[in-house]
C-alpha cells in the first residue's frame, strides 16, 4: 500500500534482493504511475547519487502496479493466501481512525483484511514503514478502534501480526533533469525514475507467520527491540529535517543542502542534537558517528531535497520529532532555543500562502490569531497550552520572523 518514491527506493529495493518474492503495488494518489510501470513490466530506474557521481540500478521487484480505484483486485490480492505481508507507506497522517464512510488508507486496509477473513482467515503481517514512533503499535491501536465485528476483531487481534520498523533513505522529488540523466546513462527514458542517496537503513521487529523476503541480503536488520532506533532517527535525523525545513524556508532557502550550509542554521541544528542526544540510551561515540554521517548526508550537493517537501504535514511530524524532547527539557526547567526557533518557524509557515498539511483548515486560522503559539500548540498537544514561558518565547521568536 503506497507506491511513491520512498517505497520504490526502500521496500521495493530491499525486496529485489530476494527474487523469489514480488510486490503487487497499489497507489491511491497517482493514476499515471501504475500505467507507466505496467508498460515497463514493473521495472523502474533508481538513480543513486553521491559525491563520486551517479549510477542507475534497475529494480524489478514490482510484479504488478495498480491504481487505488482497482478495488476488486485490491480485495482479491489481500484475500489471497499467497500474499504474506502488506507494507504501508501512507505518511504519518494516514494512521488515523477514518470518519464513517471515509475513503482512507485505514478503511481500504480494513476492507481488504475483512475480505481475507471471510475468504480463508489465513494469517498475515502488516509492515508500517512511516516515520511514527511505535508505528506498529499505532497501527494496532487504530485497527482495534475500527474493527468492530467481534469475530473479525478477534481474528485481527490474533492472526494479523504487525511489525515495528525504522526506515531511512532520503528520496527527493524527481525532476526532468534526473530523467534525462538516466537516459544519458542507460539510453532509457524512464518517467518512473526515483532519485536517492547511497545510504539506507531498515530495522524490523516482528513475526511473519507466512514468511517474508530475505531483506537481510540488502542489509536490513531484524531486531528484538526497535525503540532506541526509533528515537535516534526521529529525534536526531527527522527532527533536524523539520527544524531545517521551517527555519530554512523562513530564511529564504530551498533545499536541505542550502539550509545546512547556513551557519546560523548549522549552529541551530548542532544545538538541537546536543539537547536530544542527552535523552538517547546510546553511547556518545555512536551519537557522534551518527551526527557526522547526517552532516554529510544533509550537505550532499547532488541530493536536491526540497524543504517544502519536508515541511508538509508538520502537525503530524512535530509531535513525534520535536515535542518528546521538548517535554523532557521543560520537566527539567529548561527552554531549548532550537525548539523554540523551530516551532516559531512552523507557525510562520502556517501563516504562509503555500501550506501543505492535512490539518491546514484548522490550524492556519489559529496561526493568524493574537496568541498563535497558545492556540496552535494547545491543539496539537494540550499539555503545552498552559506553559506560559514556552508560549511567550515562541511568540517573541515569531514576531522576529514576521
The string of DSSP letters for 116-178 reads HHHHT---EEEEE-SS-TTHHHHHHHHHHHH--SHHHHHHHHHHEEE-EEEEE---PPP-HHH
Q: Where are the alpha helices (DSSP H) in 233-313?
A: 239-250, 256-260, 263-277, 284-299, 307-311
Element (H, E) at 8: helix 5-9
Q: Please give the full DSSP string across 284-302, using - where no structure is assigned.
A: HHHHHHHHHHHHHHHH-TT
pLDDT at 283: 93
pLDDT of residue 185: 98
pLDDT attached to residue 387 = 96
Q: What is the pLDDT of residue 402?
A: 82
pLDDT for position 159: 98
Question: Where are the alpha helices (H) located in 284-387, listed in sequence order?
Answer: 284-299, 307-311, 314-321, 323-331, 337-350, 360-367, 372-380
Structural contact between residues 131 and 93, judged by C-beta atoms closer than 8 angstroms: no
CATH 1.10.1040.10 residue window(s) in the chain: 227-401
Low pLDDT (below 50) residues in the chain? none
CA 28 vs CA 32, 114, 285, 331: distances in Å: 11, 19, 42, 42
Measured CA to CA, the distance from residue 266 to residue 295 in angstroms comes to: 9
* Strand locations in 2-75 (E): 23-27, 44-50, 53-59, 62-67
Check residue 29 and give its pLDDT.
78
* Rg of the chain, C-alpha, whole Å: 21
Fold observed for domain 5-222: Rossmann fold (3.40.50)
Return the pLDDT at 103: 87
CB 111 within 8 A of CB 75: yes
Alpha carbon distance 112, 154 (integer Å): 16
User: Of 153, 82, 72, which is closest to residue 117 (Cα–Cα)?
Assistant: 153
CA 142 to chain CA centroid, nearest Å:
18
List every span in the chain annotated with CATH 3.40.50.720: 5-222
What number of helices (H) and strands (E) belong to the chain?
20, 11
* CATH class of domain segment(s) 227-401: mainly alpha
**Residue 162: what pLDDT?**
98
Amino acid at each position: 500500500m503506497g507506491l511513491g518514491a520512498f517505497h520504490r527506493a526502500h521496500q521495493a529495493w530491499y525486496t529485489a534482493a530476494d527474487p523469489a518474492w514480488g510486490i503487487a503495488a497499489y497507489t491511491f494518489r497517482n493514476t499515471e504511475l501504475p500505467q507507466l510501470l505496467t508498460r515497463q513490466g514493473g521495472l523502474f530506474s533508481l538513480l543513486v547519487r553521491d559525491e563520486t557521481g551517479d549510477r542507475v540500478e534497475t529494480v524489478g521487484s514490482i510484479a504488478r502496479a495498480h491504481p487505488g480505484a482497482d478495488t476488486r483486485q485490491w480485495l482479491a490480492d489481500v484475500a489471497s493466501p499467497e500474499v504474506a505481508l502488506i507494507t504501508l507507506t501512507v505518511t504519518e497522517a494516514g494512521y488515523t481512525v477514518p470518519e464513517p464512510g471515509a475513503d482512507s488508507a485505514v478503511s481500504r486496509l480494513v476492507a481488504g483484511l475483512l475480505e481475507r477473513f471471510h475468504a480463508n482467515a489465513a494469517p498475515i503481517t502488516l509492515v508500517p514503514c512511516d516515520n511514527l514512533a511505535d508505528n506498529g503499535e499505532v497501527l494496532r491501536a487504530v485497527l482495534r478502534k475500527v474493527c468492530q465485528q467481534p469475530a473479525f476483531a478477534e481474528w485481527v487481534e490474533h492472526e494479523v501480526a504487525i511489525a515495528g520498523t525504522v526506515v531511512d533513505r532520503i528520496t527527493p522529488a524527481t525532476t526532468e533533469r534526473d530523467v534525462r540523466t538516466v537516459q544519458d546513462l542507460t539510453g532509457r527514458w524512464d518517467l518512473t525514475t526515483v532519485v536517492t542517496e547511497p545510504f539506507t537503513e531498515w530495522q524490523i521487529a516482528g513475526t511473519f507467520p507466512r514468511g517474508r523476503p530475505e531483506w537481510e541480503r540488502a542489509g536490513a536488520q531484524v531486531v528484538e527491540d526497535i525503540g532506541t532506533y526509533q528515537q535516534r532517527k526521529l529525534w536526531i535525523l527527522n527532527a533536524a529535517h523539520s527544524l531545517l525545513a521551517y527555519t530554512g524556508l523562513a530564511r529564504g532557502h530551498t533545499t536541505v543542502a542550502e539550509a545546512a550550509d547556513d551557519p546560523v542554521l548549522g549552529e541551530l541544528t548542532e544545538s538541537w542534537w546536543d539537547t536530544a542526544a542527552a535523552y538517547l540510551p546510546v553511547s556518545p561515540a555512536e551519537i557522534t558517528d551518527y551526527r557526522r554521517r547526517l552532516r554529510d548526508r544533509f550537505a550532499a550537493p547532488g541530493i536536491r531535497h526540497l524543504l517544502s517537501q519536508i515541511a508538509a504535514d508538520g502537525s503530524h511530524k512535530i509531535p513525534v520529532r520535536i515535542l518528546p524532547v521538548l517535554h523532557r527539557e521543560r520537566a527539567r526547567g529548561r527552554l531549548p532555543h532550537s525548539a523554540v526557533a523551530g516551532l516559531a518557524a512552523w507557525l510562520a509557515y502556517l501563516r504562509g500562502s503555500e501550506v501543505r498539511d492535512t490539518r491546514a483548515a484548522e490550524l492556519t486560522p489559529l496561526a493568524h490569531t493574537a496568541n498563535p503559539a497558545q492556540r496552535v500548540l494547545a491543539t496539537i498537544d494540550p499539555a503545552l497550552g498552559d506553559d506560559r514561558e514556552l508560549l511567550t518565547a515562541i511568540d517573541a521568536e515569531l514576531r522576529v520572523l514576521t
